[in-house]
Amino acid sequence: MSFSYARGQINPVVNYYYDAGARQRFSAWHVVIGFMFLAAAMTIYFAKMVTSNLQLVSAAESPTYSLRTPTPTPAVVAPISTAPDTNNLQTEIDAWIRAHKGVDWAVSVEKLDGGLSASVNPDQVFSLASIYKLFLLQPLAQKIPSSQWSTTKIESKTYASCVDAMLRVSDNACAEAIGASLGWTKAQNYLRSLGYGKPTFLADTTTGTVNETAALLKNLYQSEGFDELTRTSALQAMLAPKKTEGIRHGCDGCTVYNKIGDLAGYHNDAAIIEKNGKAYSVVIFSKTGSWEQIAELTKIISAHF
């Protein structure tokens, strides 16, 4: 079979095959292009799926952090102190004295290891009444050692029993017998040598101050100038409750070692007080005051212990 070509045309048979081949090639390109688009779409789809799964896994594994403003740490508040306020003790005593006019008062308060003290008329001379019996202890121990008191007689009793009686129940006969045996003037002079300048022993009256009474009580309690037997004998007798007194009745929860004086309108109470593991001297003298008033004032004072 021969083909002939003419300028500007193609043999009809050849033209037919040419057109058919072109159509076939055109259809193949459509298939290829369509496949490429499909592959690209599937690639994008799977890529999105993988990315989405990765994000879900990351979100599940990562901790969640809050961007809220943190709550501020509360300020540290100091605990409320339950310790008694001792700064206004003097003010309270002064106010109480002013409210009880018509009575002469003398007051001495001291914590024995320091840190608390208050006073009213501490050096004013009052009648000691039976408080003077405390001042006989050191002159007696100087003349007759306390180790001999239980075996040495004074009238019908021993010195030991007389000391106990004059401090426990304020026995006047024993105190007067001891004073006479010592010599009142000699006893007074001995006290002066120890530094007690105010106590005075006269025929019918003994006088002194709350300040020096408080000093004697402190020395007795701390064994300053007192031997241990004198100290323990005296404190044991003073521990006993009295028929009439004020300080013990006004001091709740206290151990009270006291000596009272009651004479011609003078009501005096002198004590060593133990409370909350601490020791205090409290001496209250009054002229025309009452035991109830002394107890009332003691209640105010002991609230600071």
pLDDT, tens digit, for every residue of 101-126? 999 999 999 999 998 999 999 999 99
pLDDT at 58: 45
Mean per-residue pLDDT, 132-138? 98
Percentage of residues of the chain with pLDDT beyond 90:
70
The answer to whether 248 touches 241, Cβ cutoff 8 Å, is yes
> Maximum CA pair distance of the chain?
183
pLDDT at 66: 43
> Phi/psi at 162 (nearest 5 deg)?
-70, -40
At 87, the pLDDT band (50, 70, 90 cuts) reads low
The token pair at 184 is: 């009142």
Q: Which residue has the tokens 């001042």?
A: 135
Nearest-angstrom CA–CA distance, 197 and 204: 19
Is residue 20 pLDDT above 80, yes or no?
no
Mean per-residue pLDDT, 159-182? 97
Percentage of residues of the chain with pLDDT beyond 70:
71
Mean pLDDT of the chain: 83
pLDDT at 37: 57
Is residue 271 pLDDT above 80, yes or no?
yes
Mean per-residue pLDDT, 38-58? 52
Nearest-angstrom CA–CA distance, 159 and 137: 11
> Which fold does the domain 89-302 belong to in CATH?
Beta-lactamase (3.40.710)
Is residue 83 pLDDT above 70, yes or no?
no
The answer to whether 174 touches 165, Cβ cutoff 8 Å, is yes
Mean per-residue pLDDT, 140-154? 97
Domain boundary assignment for the chain: 10-80, 89-302
How big is the chain, counted in residues?
A: 305
Is residue 209 pLDDT above 80, yes or no?
yes
pLDDT at 30: 54
At 275, the pLDDT band (50, 70, 90 cuts) reads very high
The answer to whether 293 touches 286, Cβ cutoff 8 Å, is yes
The H-or-E segment that residue 76 falls in is none
Which residues on adjacent β-strands are paired with residue 207? Answer: 127, 200
The answer to whether 282 touches 119, Cβ cutoff 8 Å, is no
Strand order in the sheet with 206-208: 126-127, 206-208, 200-201
Residues 6+ apart with CB under 8 A from 81: none
What is the amino acid identity at position 183? Answer: G
